Amino acid sequence: MKKTKKMLIMILIICMWSTSLIGANANEKPVIPQYIEIGLHFGSSAKSVTYLKSTGGFIAGTYNNDSFQQLVVLQGFNELILRKDAYYINSGGSFVEYTGNVGQAGNLNLQGPYHVQVGGSFDSKDSAEAFMDTLQVKDTLYLAFEGEWKVFGGLYIDEAKAEKRAEEIKSETGLNTKAIVPSSKRVQVLDKDGTPIFVFDSQSGVYIKAFNDKGEVPLINLEGRNFRGAITAKRMDNNDMAIINKLLLEEYLYGVVPKEMTPTWAPEALKAQAVAARGFAITSMTKYLNMGFNLCSTISSQVYEGYDIEHPNTNRAVDETKNKIITHNGKAVTPFYHSNSGGQTENSENIWSAALDYIKGKKDDYSLDAPNSNWTIVMSKEEVTNALNKEKIDVGEIIDIKITEASSNGRVLKFVVTGTKGEEVLEKQRSRAVLGLKSSYFSLQQGGETTAMVRNATSQPEAVNIQGKHVISESGTKKVESTTNINVYNGKSYKSIKGTADTFVFEGRGYGHGLGMSQYGAKRMAEMNYTYEEILTFYYTDIKVE
C-alpha cells in the first residue's frame, strides 16, 4: 500500500512538472535578453593597453541580474588607461608594453606588474578605503578588487623590489604586508599620467561606465570611438585583453541598423531590417561565449560601430519595433538577409547544408532594377588561376571551367575547374567565395576566339573561329567545345593552335547569399506601401512577427 501511494505521488509530481513545462514553453514568445556584450577587440586585435575618455568621469561596477552595482566612483577623472598587469614604458605620453629583458632596461622609466599588499582583505570597498586613508606611507596606494577588497601599492619591476618595500612598510606601520606577483587575470586602471587608481581581476565582472548626472546620453570614448553602455577588459588566453562593450540590446541595434541599411530608406524597410538584426542577435548570443562575450562587431556577426553611426531614422525604426522578432513554430529563428536577390531567393540547403523550413527560394521581382540585380565580371585565365592558388587549389594550367549543376532557383551547385593536373569541384557558395563573385547566381561564357587557317576544296584559306565547329578526329566527328590544346593536322604534320579564348565571362544576378530578406527588395516593397510585417512574411516562409 505504501509503495502504491509513493508511486501515485511520483506520477502526480511528474504530471504537474510536465504541465508546468508545457505552460512555460507552448506558444510562448522566446525571452529576449535585456543586455548584450560585443567584442570590439579580441583575438589578433586584443589589446595590451587601451584608453578611455568621458566628459563627466567614470563609474566602475558589476552587474547583478542586469542591475548595475556601483563599486568605485571616478568622477574626477576624464581619462583612464586600462592595461594588463605587465611591464610598460612611457613613450611620449603613451604607455607601450615592454617585452625585453628587464635587467637590460637601463634608464627606461619602467613600470612593472609587482605590487605590495598592505593589511588583509575587506568585505567592502568603504572599509578598504577607510583603512587606506589611515596609512601614512610615501607610496601611492590604491584599491584592488579580486573577489575581496585589498589595498595595494607600487608598480615594481621584480619580486625582490616588491618584497623589500613590503618589509619597509611593515617596519613603518607594524601592519602585515606581502609582495604580490603578476597575475594573468589582473587589469590595471590608471589615470592619464600613469598613476594607478585601482586594479581588478578581469574574471570578476568589473565594467566601467561613463558618469553622467546631466540627463545626457552617457558616452564612453574608446580610442576615439563613442559607445553607449559599459566597457570592460578581459584577459585572454594569449595574455592580452579583449575589450568588450556591454549595453542594452535595443541600443546595440542603434549602432547596427544604419550599417546594414541606408538610414534614408523608407521607414518600413528600416523596421524590417531592425527586426531582422534583432533576431540575428538573439539567436547568436552563444557564438563567442568562450571568449567572454556574445557577438563581435564585424561582419562575422553584424557590423556594429557604436554611437557615432547612429541616425534618428534607424533609431526610430528600432524603437517602433521594440522586442519584435521573427518566430517559426514558436521558436526564434535567425533571419538571414542579403543585399539583392537578383530576382530569386534561395533555399538554405543550396547555400550551406541545413534545410531550414523558413528559408525557401521564391520569385522576387522587388529586387529587380536595383544595384547589382545584374552584373558582369570578366576574368582572365591568369586571374582565375591566381584566385585558385590563394585557396591552395592547384589544377595546373586551366583547360576548362564550367557549371555542371544548378539549383531550381538558378544558383550554382557545382562548378568544375579542369586543368593539366586534374580538376577541382567547387560546391555551392565556394565558387563565389574562391573567385570573389557577388553571388552564386551566375552563368558562364568563355570569351575571345580561337582561329585557324582552313580551306575546303574550292575556297581560298581563311581564318575561322573553330569554337563550336565540328571537326573530324580519329574517333569521329566532334564539336569543338574547348579551344585550348587544339592540334590540327595539315596533311604532313600536327600543328598546335593556341586559343585566344583565355577569358571567362560571368553573367550574374544579385549580391550576397540570397537567403531570406533582400534589402533592396525590402526597400522597393516599402516604397510600394507594404508594412514591415508584410515585407518579412514575404521573404520568410511560415513565420510570425511577434
Q: How many CA atoms lie within 13 A of 294 on its CB side?
A: 20
Q: What is the pLDDT of residue 58?
A: 96
Q: Higher model confidence: residue 460 or residue 533?
A: 533
The CA R_g of the chain, rounded to the nearest whole Å, is: 33
| Average pLDDT over every residue of 446-456 | 55
SS3 156: strand
Which residue segment(s) compose the domain that 478 sits in? 451-501
pLDDT for 75: 87
Q: Are residues 380 and 423 in the same domain?
A: yes
| Same domain, residue pair 195 and 159 | no
What are the two backbone dihedrals, phi and then psi, of residue 432, each rounded to the nearest 5 degrees? -65, -45
| Spatial separation of the C-alpha atoms in residues 69 and 91, rounded to whole Å | 36
Which of 155, 181, 207 is where one domain is finished?
181
Distance (Å, rounded) from C-alpha 425 to C-alpha 414?
Answer: 6
Could you tell me which residues come within 8 angstroms of residue 103 by beta carbon, excluding any fewer than 6 positions away?
none
Residue 368 lies in a domain: no
What is the average pLDDT across 452-472? 56
Residue with cell 570592460: 232
Task: For residue 222, give the nearest of 53, 46, 42 by alpha carbon.
Answer: 53
User: What is the maximum alpha-carbon separation in the chain?
Assistant: 119
Comparing 422 with 453, the larger pLDDT belongs to: 422
Residues with Cβ within 8 Å of 167's Cβ and at least 6 positions away in sequence, in order, are: 177
264 lies in the same domain as 311: yes
| 456 and 424 belong to one structural domain | no
pLDDT score of 8: 41
Strand partners, 415: 403, 426
Q: Cell 590608471, residue?
A: 190
Same domain, 177 and 321: no
C-alpha–C-alpha distance, residues 13 and 273, integer Å: 45
Question: Is residue 480 assigned to a domain?
Answer: yes
pLDDT given for residue 448 in this prediction: 57
> Is there a contact between 152 and 142 (Cβ–Cβ < 8 Å)?
yes
Q: Express each pLDDT in 99-147 by its tens digit.
A: 988 877 766 788 999 999 999 999 999 999 999 999 999 989 999 999 8
Nine cell digits for residue 467? 569554337
The answer to whether residue 173 is domain-embedded is yes
Other Cβ atoms within 10 Å of 27 Cβ, number:
9
pLDDT of 457 over the 60 cut: no
433-447 pLDDT tens trace: 999 999 999 999 886
Query: How many structural domains is the chain composed of?
Result: 5
Closest CA to 442 of 386, 374, 366: 374
Tell me the DSSP string of 117-138. Answer: EES--BSSHHHHHHHHHT---S
Q: Are residues 442 and 463 in the same domain?
A: no
Average pLDDT over residues 325-342: 96
* 272, HSE (Cβ side, Cα atoms, 13 Å): 34
Kindly list the distances between the CA atom of residue 520 and the CA atoms of 65, 83, 316, 339, 351, in Å, as whole numbers in the listed order.
Answer: 40, 44, 20, 6, 20
Which of 231, 247, 263 terminates a domain? The answer is: 247
pLDDT of residue 293: 97
78 with 203, same domain: the answer is yes
Give the Cα separation of 218 and 286 in Å (integer). 28
Q: Which pTM does this prediction carry? A: 0.82
Q: Helical H runs in 228-303?
A: 249-254, 257-260, 267-282
Judge contact between 439 and 342, C-beta under 8 A: yes
CA distance 329 to 27: 8
In a domain, 104, yes or no: no
Same domain, 298 and 399: no
Given 125, 157, 181, which residue is the final one in a domain? Answer: 181
Q: State the Cα–Cα distance between residues 109 and 112, nearest whole angstrom.
A: 10
For residues 237 and 309, membership in a common domain is answered with: no
Does residue 433 share a domain with residue 530? no
Phi, psi of 13 (to 5 degrees): -65, -45
Over residues 348-367, the pLDDT tens digits come to 999 999 999 999 999 999 99
Chain centroid, CA 327 distance in Å = 23
Domain of residue 163, CATH code: 3.30.70
pLDDT digits (tens, 9 = 90+) for 250-299: 999 999 999 999 999 999 999 999 999 999 999 999 999 999 999 999 99
β-pair type (79-84, 110-111): unpaired
- For residue 486 the three cell numbers come to 587544339
Looking at the fold, whether 269 and 326 belong to one and the same domain comes out as yes
Distance CA 95, CA 81 (A): 9
The reply to whether 355 falls in a domain is no
Query: Looking at per-residue confidence, does 122 or 452 come out higher?
Result: 122
CB–CB of 411/351 below 8 Å? yes
In a domain, 133, yes or no: yes
Phi then psi dihedrals of residue 94, to 5 deg: -115, 145
- pLDDT value at residue 365: 98
Q: DSSP states of 456-468 as a string?
A: -SSSPPEEEE-TT
Residue 519 lies in a domain: yes
- Three-state DSSP class for residue 421: coil
Contact yes or no for 56/210 (Cβ under 8 A) = yes
pLDDT in tens, 355-398: 999 999 999 999 999 999 999 999 999 999 999 999 999 999 99
SS3 229: coil
pLDDT of residue 491: 57
User: pLDDT of 536-545, one tens digit each?
Assistant: 999 999 999 9
Non-local CB neighbours of 213 within 8 Å, separated by 6+ positions: 56
At residue 89, what is the residue type?
Answer: I
CB atoms within 10 A of CB 236: 19
- In this prediction, residues 180-207 reach a mean pLDDT of 95
Is the pLDDT assigned to residue 20 strictly greater than 80? no
Secondary structure class of 323 (helix, strand, coil): coil
User: 174 and 68: one domain?
Assistant: no
Grouping H, G, I as helix, E, B as strand and the rest as coil, residue 63 is strand
Phi, psi (rounded to 5 degrees) for 170 = -60, -40
| Residue 212 counted as domain residue | yes
